[in-house]
Structure 1
Amino acid sequence: MTTAEGWVRYWRDGDRPVEAMHAHFFDHVYPPHSHDTYSFGITVAGAQSFHCRGGTHTSGAGMVMAFNPDEVHDGWAAADTGYLYRIVHLGPSVVSDMISDATEGRSAALPLFTAPVLSDRALTDALSGLHAALTGSPNPLVRDEWLTAAVTAMTRRGASTTASPVRARTPTDRARRQAARRARQLLDDTYLEPLTAEQLAAAAGCSRFALYRAFRAEFGLAPSDYQRQLRLRHARSLLVSGATPADAAAATGFADQAHFSRWFHRVYGITPGTFRYA
């Protein structure tokens, strides 16, 4: 797909949560969002900036943007030439299966990346090889070999199983955190249904204002943004199953197909139609 904003090519595995994208963006701005996968963006040329973990980061040529599952981030061009990048999305189940194979069935923690931008040649080479295999090789053995190489690089060189230190929480902090989690549970259970701020606040056990602040502090998104993200993820699964963009929009609570398509493109960088036929 080519537009005034740039161009994008997308590839999706039909059997497991593995996807790849190659894109050159100039003016496209990603809103705050997250993926339910590990997401690795390899910057080929130009530079991309983004907010993540309370700071602003920039990835230049040769660097890797590493996002853990459900890690909120945005993104925009940090150079006049835009940014050319390759990105791969790996579902946690795929990574877990690969690690289990490597440890001969012994349980092992999933890797956790503690820095959102990495300068790691081994990881960059492995991810670049995986991207090339996913998008260019018809041989499943080649794709699996590069997938193994990428997960190996993730676990050995670019990741840590230890989370960043967390400050001590006061009783008030714990109460706010619990309220945010109660609200998120209601959204997880009913994201396809109409839901008012009053209903969400009642489930959380606090005021609407307090809930908004607590939810953003805990999850990095406003409740409505989180609800829309859940709807978009569900719409992706419907598109993979063969639903039309119009049917996916209607089934996931969007006002109309145009509204759905705008948000899908903003968050994922491609149109629902391009994703459906990837």
Structure 2
Amino acid sequence: MSKARPAGDWIVRAPPTGRLERIEAFFSGHGYEPHRHDTYAIGRTLAGVQSFHYRGGQRHSVPGATIVLHPDEIHDGEAGTEAGFRYRMLYIEPALIQQILGGRALPFIQHGISADPRLFAASELLLRGLDAPLDALEEDDALFDLAHALSAVSAPPRAKQPFDYRAAELAREFIHGSLERSVTLEELERHSGRDRWSLSRDFRLLFGTSPYRYLTMRRLDLVRSLLLQGQSLVGAALLAGFTDQSHMTRHFGKTYGLSPARWLKMRAG
């Protein structure tokens, strides 16, 4: 980025487009506690060594490769050397990938790091400097290329499973309209027309997480937006449908690897 950043740890977020979240960050040592989110996390290390635990092993990312963390997979983050690490990351909802691929099992990249040039090229535009805004049509083209690159590079599914994409999408839409209250699997069954256990399986296959986790993540999205608008932790928690602040804070840490207070502090630079 063109703007100077402070010497300590920091996170900068690109202006939201309504569909994508793009960040650039620097950590001098320990970055994130183990956590998981329901989006793809796709990025690259710009400087230093970015180390993280993922699927039973420790990975080390250096400039030139592409990081692809699958939705709902536990990971952490820390500097691999005393120099710290700087990186950019793009967070993409699996629903966007599904809309492009037409309802297939989510692409899965083994090991969390890929040296495949197709994936590097397809993610280049979306991972360019945050000072450069993305034109709407440019963003659509880049997402199309990235979704198909993920599909081409990913490991083949072990076995094809029948699923109902439309029913899962109807359930997802219902969740978006019900953030402020409790949602039951029985309600999702009635709304989607799919029996609850098949729906629950399909939802995980197509969107990378369970219906409950998806609901929790959308509430946390709202929390972050409210906090950036100056809302208190208590107020943001209640407005987003959590029972209280401690309930929200617990989920926040499990999802982002940071407490809400530390996240806000780093955003302030």
Aligned in 2, Cα 1:261/1:154: closer, same or farther, shift over 3 Å?
A: closer
Larger radius of gyration: 1
1:266 aligns to 2:232 (yes or no): no
Which one of the candidate residues 156, 175, 185 is aligned to 2:152?
156
Of stretches 22-31 and 47-56 in structure 1, the one that deviates more from structure 2 is 22-31
What displacement does 1:258 show?
9.5
Deviations 1:171-214 (A, max 9, x none): xxxxxxxxxxxxxxxxxx79xxxxxxxxxxxxxxxxxxxxxxxx
Tell me if the contact between 2:34 and 2:257 (Cα under 8 Å) persists in the aligned partners. no
The answer for the alignment partner of 1:244 in structure 2 is 231
TM-score by length of 2: 0.63
Q: Is the CA contact 1:26–1:81 (under 8 Å) kept in the aligned structure 2?
A: yes
The answer (yes or no) to whether the contact 1:46–1:60 under 8 Å persists in 2 is: yes
How has the CA–CA distance of structure 1 residues 267 and 135 changed in structure 2, closer, same or farther, with 3 Å as cutoff? farther
Q: Please report how far the alpha carbon of residue 119 of structure 1 lies from its aligned counterpart in structure 2 after TM superposition.
A: 1.2
Task: State the identity %.
Answer: 26
Task: Give me the whole-angstrom Cα distance separating, in 2, the residues matched to 1:76 and 1:30.
Answer: 7
Q: Which has the higher contact order (CA 8 A, sep 6+)?
A: 2
The number of equivalent residue pairs is 208
Instruction: State the shift of 1:138 in Å.
Output: 4.5
SS at match of 1:49: strand
What's the CA shift for 1:134?
Answer: 6.9
Residue number among 245, 248, 269 corresponding to 1:254 in the alignment: 245
1:5 to 4, 8, 23: 8
Question: Structure 1: which 5+ runs fail to align?
Answer: 101-106, 165-188, 191-226
* Correspondence for 1:110: 106
> Which stretches in structure 2 are left out of the alignment for 5+ residues?
160-181, 184-211
Q: Is the 8 A contact 1:50 1:76 kept in 2?
A: yes
Please give the per-residue CA displacement for 1:59-116, whole angstroms capped at 9, x wherever unaligned. 111122211110111111001211111111110100011112xxxxxx4322122221
Take 2:129 and 2:63, find their aligned partners in 1: how far apart are those partners? 21
CA deviation map 1:121-175 (0-9, x unaligned)? 2212221211228751352111111122211211112x124259xxxxxxxxxxx
**Contact 2:10–2:266, Cα closer than 8 Å, also in 1:** no
- The 5 Å alignment of 1:182-261 reads 234-240=219-225, 244-246=231-233, 247-249=235-237, 252=242, 253-255=244-246
1:66 match: secondary structure: strand
- Structure-2 residue corresponding to 1:171: none
